[in-house]
Structures are given as structure tokens and as C-alpha cells.
Chain A
């Protein structure tokens, strides 16, 4: 579904991604962890071309993402994205947030888009907020709306870029629960997170990154019990010890 082959990315002289090789199959849940500045978010943002790669090859859903002739809007329909800061549209209601892309991009009728939106709002547990504005919701509720917004496009892949990092601890659980449900339903997911409990429980595979490189790729059982790399061990000891 997603294949990175020898992908490199530079920001000017800064080498953000170094020789990335990574394949993610359909239905897989891959969790990317690592210290800040290690390139995790950049890696995920390359998948829907919010960031461009400098060299190498990146194929998503059979499409070469960085090919000049690629219709990027068409590819992006199939890739939902959830951001750290939710990025809901503040001037639109919850319902309008969710129906905008289905109506404008997929061309579905307003009625059908609303029904779909309500279905996903039920799914994330806040159908009663359909007519509220984002500013009236808690962080956890906003992020669940953002997930519903992504799902309403019926994507093949969902990307999560630190979806719980901006949430207060009490609401993290409700967002993770929604993500767990998605994972069990077979959604292909790429998740950047610092939630080790979620990674251990839900991931099919853990990817550990540091300084723009993938240092380790393993099943969660293996990774958390016996990290091979010294850097990964250090990272885990710091993050799990408190």
C-alpha cells in the first residue's frame, strides 16, 4: 500500500530523512516512534505530499507520489489525515467540517454527505455535537470530529500525526479508543505518537526513528521487550520510567 524506497529529504542543508526504506501493507497499523526532531512527522507528511521528497521513490496506493503528472488531489481523497492541532475549520459547524470535502471533492449530494457525516459522528461518539462550532468542543471532541472528517471520505489509508499530543490527559483515552476501533476494523493506519500503551496494544509493527533514519522495525512485543538498538533502549527507558 505504501512503499518508501531509498527516500531522502533535505530542508536546505538539513538532511531530514535518510535512506528510508519502509513498506506498509493494506490493513496494517504501523506506529512510528522516536525522539522529537527525528523525522517522524515529516515521514508521514510525505505520504500525502504535504512534504515533497528530494530523492528516492515513494509509491502510495500504486501511485508514484512525487511524479509530476500525478493528480495529487485524486490520491489525497484516499488518504485521511489527522493532525496534532486538529485543524478543524473554525467558521464551520462540525457537520460542515465533515461534509465539505465529500461534497466538493467526491461530488456527493448534501443529503448523502450529511448522512455519512452523522454515521461517523455516531461512530466517534458525539452525534449530539453536529451543529456545534469547533470552539465549543473540548480538545478530545475536536480530535474525534477531525477523525470523522477524515473517515467521511472513505479513505484507504489514515495518517495520524501526533493526534493526542495537544490533548489534556483526560481526553486522550477517548481519541485512542476511536483509533483502536478503526484498527480492529482493518483500516490501514500510520500513526506517529508518544502513547506507548497504544503502540504496544494496537500496532502490528513499530518503527523507531532517530535523526532521520529508521533504526529499528519490529513487532511491538519484540520491540518493547528486547529493543535491539542502544538508542531505542535509551528512548524507552526515558519515556517509560515515569
Chain B
């Protein structure tokens, strides 16, 4: 079995309780961290090369060092647990099963940042997770890991869980902060970035659940040890939630640099595609990253094997590459319809647009309607170029990255599977007869 950092003890019975978690070496990083200065902890994280696991892959240590230290306002650490990307379901598993890993990470990270109050913002639909976290936080308070003067260190921290209100957009960090402040979850214009003007106008760091849960291991073993795992600038391990047409859907912790082919076909991971079907396409990092056809996901345009790493997946830019994103790995076999899949994704982004800025508010709905038309046999050839153009006019013009998240899947699907769109127009129903028939009969 490959290197496990987060999931090493995930199958230990009772690991969600503090007692078992501590017996497996939990909360040891606190004593170590408190012997260091906060800046030394940040330095270790920098050395580790840890990158944000929420999708953008921004170096975590660097993000921490951007925090406005000159300001005399309080600082905040906010954990982004608003995991709502279609295809991504790794943080839920982590929080549900080893909640103390996140809490330990929150304590150590808050110490490094000098935060006295920290928040875990959890997607509102995940009430069971919220209850688990609440219980774990109570345990941690009782054991003296949270509250005043933690373990005699002189450092105090209060930790709160905040349920979200049911909006994908609140996973965008500034919309999350607005929501946390009790306002409508509209993303803010940037700059200023949260490191300067965050929660309640104070310097704030927003990190993904998995990123924060990685920090205790880095403190325990040192940044260099973490940097030794993985490949190049993609250090450490990554949780990948695999789904779609594979024999073993689930959440896997992989060492970055694992070949994509091995991940899909090895019995240790996805276990290949059921019923001997052929691989058609993969969305490698959650629904918003570009879709890639089988040949380009297994090998780069240069013919090198594609690896599960930030750099390798991005090889070739968006012409022939994609992104590691948040690790939502969706596999499509030869029977799946790309047009239908794209319509479904676009429907999601249309539904989740906050409506604040015009390109996203109007453009996502437009794309959905055109795709619906093509899927249901009323499309025109000119619609395909129209979609490309609308996507282009959304991308890069919006306040927050939801515009890109909606535009990239459209642009990439048409780039790589244009023939399939044309077939939907010229011979409606040839591909999706099954779905259409089912839907028409299910009406009655």
C-alpha cells in the first residue's frame, strides 16, 4: 500500500473519538508546535511544498505569509468545508471519519497564523458531518486541546463550526466569508484579498479541509520529510474521490506522481472499467476542470505518461491538458454521452450562479438552454460555435472563478468531442435514445 498520511488510521474502529485518535498518536503535533515560534511553523509548511487542496493548488506556506501581520486587528483562520463540486467528495469522508485530524490541524495552523478564533464552514447539506465535528470539538475542549491556555502553552483558541446555507458559491472564499458574516453569499471583488481584508475586515486565511489536515503531519515529521513524498512541486499525498464507470469507486489517498493509467486500472485503486468497456474520457479534478479524452488523459500530447500531479495534468495547458483541481475524478466509458454530461454540468452552474455579475448570471443560463436544445434534438450546427463564443465571453470576465468553472467544461468538451455535438445536431437521438426514451416514458 502506498504512503498514507491522512488515511493511515481511517479504518481503525472508533477513530472518530478523541481517545482512539490520541492512542494512535493524535494531537502530538501540538506540543511540538508550541515549542516552535508561529513563524517557524509557517516556515515548515513552506518547506513542505504543501499546496492548497481545494482546487487552485496555491502554495499554502506562501498564502500564510501573505497574512497582514502589521495590522493590529484580530486574525482569523477559516476552514473551507463547503465541498459541493460535482465529483468531489473527499472532505466529507475525512471530516466524518477522522474529525480530530481536522481539529488538530486547525489548532496548529491557527497557532502559526496567530488566530484566536477560527471557523470551520461546512456545507449545510452535510448535517451528519456537522454533528460529528461539534461532538469532536466538545471532546477537544474537555481534553484541553481547545480553549484558554492550551496545554499550558499560553496560547488560546476558540473553534466554531458554521453550517452553510446550501449554495455552491459559498465555497468561493470571499463568498464564504460574506456568508460567515451572516450576509448574502456574494463573492467580493478582489483585491483586497482575504489576507488583508477578510472576515469582518480582518486579515484572514481560508484553507481547504484536506490542506489543514495535512499540517500536523508536517509539524510532526518536518517539512522536508513531506517534500520528499510526491513528485517535483507536487509534494505529499492527495485525496482523490473517484467515481463514474470504474469497478471500485471511492476515496483514495495517493502519492502525487502516480501514473493516471495505474490509478484507473490498478486493483489497488479504481480497478478498471466494468464489463470490459473502453475508457472514453476523464474529468480529473471535479466538474469544473476541462474534460480530456482517453488518449490525452493517459498520455500527454508529447507521448509521456500522464501523472496524477499538478504539473503533469496541466501539461499542454488547456489545449491538451487539464487540472488536478479538487481531486474529483470522474471516469466515462464508451457508452456515455459527452453532450448530455455537459448539459448536466452546465445546468448545475446555471443553478448555482449567484447572479451578481452579468456574464455569469446570463451566460450560464444561455449555455444551458442551448445545450438542452442540442441534447433534445433541436440544435443547429451554428449552436456549437455559439457555445464556444459564449463560454469565451464568460471566462475571465467575472468577479469570481465560477465563470471559469462554467466556461471550461463547455470549451473543453467541444474542443475534444466536437464530432459528438455535430452528430447530435445532424442525427438527433442517435446517441441518447436510451435516455430520451426513459425520460419520455417516466413522465406517465
Partners in one complex: no
Chain A residues close to B by CB (< 8 Å): none
